[in-house]
Structure 1
Amino acid sequence: MLKKRESVILVGAGVIGLIAAMRLAEAGFDVCVVDRGQAAQEASWAGGGILSPLYPWHYPPELLRLSFYSMSLHQALARELENLTGIDPQWNLSGLRIMAGKRETIPADIINWAQRWQLNWQLMGKEDGLHPSLWCPEVAQVRNPRLLSALLLRCRQLGVKIIEHTEVSGFRRFHNGQLCGLETTRGFWPTNHAIITAGAWTGKLLESARLHLEIYPVRGQMLLLQGQAGMLNSMIMRDQHYLVPRQDGLILAGSTSENVQFDKSVTAEARETLWDFAHDFLPELTSDHIIRQWSGLRPGSQESVPYIGALPGWKGLYVAAGHFRYGLTNAPATAEILVSTLTDQAPPVDIKPYLPATHFQKDPNSSPAD
């Protein structure tokens, strides 16, 4: 068990790294977060803020159990951060309407499926002039840039060191497998405990430790539209695209899913696709209402089930990555798992499905020590 004030370095300052840093600092650890770029500016910032798996019936139970538990933590987290920092993350139980589409239909037995997961979903007809739809009242949203700002401030209040524009390139260990430090662009940093929370870049970092987990970048593009408050009363989704209305009238239209490695450029094709989708539901908008287009790189993984826990062959080196679209949704639960792991406490959920030891492939040329 780690002693209080033991140092921990988190590699990656996205929502998972920041919530974990906050919780570890609250538990008494000396915490540092290092990021290759600017803190809180990658996939956690770029997403739409929907707090739920999308089309959840497609996913395995281990992803759903983690997500539904984590969803239950977000409202209290938002209130806690607002009280402590004065920044309101704007958690909002706006609900999600899933429309039947050409590529994604609504299963005939969906209500029975939802009841098994204790979800109060409702099937809606055509009485409103729209396509048949599934109403999901439990789905909330959060203003992710505001959440990240609150987390950064709270971490600083707790004395967490946040070091930006510093890239970690590798790890060192002793002959017994104990982590002894990180190789960075600012030199070698000694530490006995580190957690890789680097999102889409995690796979590259693991290669430096001679470990191989299926984590790969998936680009998602977004549009920001200037709407009006009350223009949409809920989030809407059809055929993997969605609209997210913010409290001030801004509307997010997302998202693409593109395997283009680490290319973060935006495309005219995605802009047209997302605009057509938005305009189909909001014909009163014109292209003049488009404010901005951007992209982010999600950490793809098999069936979106993340890897959370200790890395085999390394003592003191952990990972929390591979959440794909659901890093924001699953961040509070992931942080709880990490804290319980580092303090030898009982985890909040069964962690066996997320342990890297059950998934990783080790380099046959690796040795017990570097």
Structure 2
Amino acid sequence: MPPHRPAHRAPLPPGWDHNEFSERLWERFAPITTPLRDLGLYCEIDFGLSDYHVRVHLSDGSYVVIAPPQEPPEEGWEIGVRGPSYWVAYRQHDSRDVYELIYSSDPDEPTHHLQAAAGGRPGPLLNVVSGRLDTLGLLPARPPLSTADREVLLTLKDSLRGQLEYFGYLPRLIPVPSLQGELPEPGEIIELCAAAAGMAHKLADIPTRQIGLPPEAPRAGTVRAQVDQAIADAAEPAALATMHLSQAAAQLTYLHHGTEPTTAAASSRRLDRVTQQLDAARTQTFLVGLALQQALERLDRTLAPPEPASRARPAQLAFTPAPRAAQPPPGIPGAAGHSR
């Protein structure tokens, strides 16, 4: 299931020409830039090694780069249709010895296997990046919540928290085949497959859209859009878990009840495939609960009381980045005629 786009889109950065190329480029990265701009961060889009990436300027003079595959670039991706195969995010400072890899879902160099499983979905990336910046004290200070915002967000939190127990139990039920070759029964996996399929329906029933948004609660609308994005992100691993369990059940049915003669080597290969499918299903079902847990943590951060004045964070950048208009690099097809 492709991730949906944000309900609103952050405007082009100051200094950008409002031409077709700039609009198309900003729209391409809107599922990344809009949530970050909603957090008060200044974002722009630069050309990297061989493709565009998002640059997020921070108050200490450092910046975060969020990039799709660069060497070689990946053609034809569009976040709202088919995202890139992975994201990499790192923080650095041009004049200090600062470099930190924050996130990588590159399957060849993941910072965590769960990140690799997330692939090109933007939700897990944004959760990790915003959480790390919050830990470093680099998220801009936000004004106190209004009473209406707080009431809406508390209702949203209760709605989401009520679902976590359901989504947290399934990974623990998926069996691990023993080293002695003992196999679970096909019927057991078929039941789990039905439970995983039910996760997608359960996700659709989380009643975030039934929570009213009064006009005096603008920040609650932004946070609800982020929670909706987390729910949309969880739908894909739910579908993948169903697929892996279905394939494991088919292999187990053959191993338990197959009538055609088979060799020990062939049976061993089938057992290996069962183990791989069950491992993959366990990871994907865990990702479903993790996406919702991270959305709940974001709600908790938003609802947390403001920091004391002595520890208050800057409300804006200590500098103003030089405005740069989006310009296609030489040689990009269809880029002619778009100026700074």
Normalization by structure 1: what TM-score?
0.23
Question: Structure 1 or 2: larger helix share?
Answer: 2
